[in-house]
Homo-oligomer: A and B are copies of this chain.
Amino acid sequence: MILEKKKIFNDFAASKGLRSTRQRDIILDIFLSTRQHVSVEELYLKIKASNPGIGHATVYRTLKLFSEAGLAREILLHDGQTRYEHAVAGEHHDHLVCTGCNSIIEFEDETIEKLQKDIAARHGFLIKNHKLEIYGLCAACRQ
């Protein structure tokens, strides 16, 4: 699983003429070890703990690359920070975002995905990706 993702990134890097660097390896390792939806800052701090040398800009730059490589996906919630979630080719999940405790529940729904394709087709639109976020209160916060 992790090896497979590393391969995906290496293939992407090769196809783009990018070099393999210590920093990118480390950032990928740590990114893969996090749970979903890390903000860049969270990831940066985690990286700095074991690798104080790695700079802010490198983390930003590298996450963008992961995104292009299809390993990560940018998500914007409403807290002013860009977050990244793990992406798996051909798979997609959406989010129930609790505005009470900021927890995120993931779900998948094939019917919704299919309906989206229908709508896109009706408009002659070519889908690259999509995001569906449902905001509200989770079971715990409703009480």
Contact = CB atoms under 8 A, between A and B. Distances in A.
Interface in A100-143: 105, 107, 109, 111-112, 115-116, 119-120, 123-139, 142
A85 interface: no
A116 B134 contact: yes
A96 B119 contact: yes
A2 B137 CA distance: 32
Interface in A64-111: 74, 76, 78, 96, 98-99, 105, 107, 109, 111
- Residues of A contacting B: mostly: strand
Given A76-B76, A129-B134, A130-B135, 9 more contacts: A107-B123, A109-B115, A111-B111, A112-B112, A120-B134, A120-B136, A126-B137, A130-B133, A130-B134
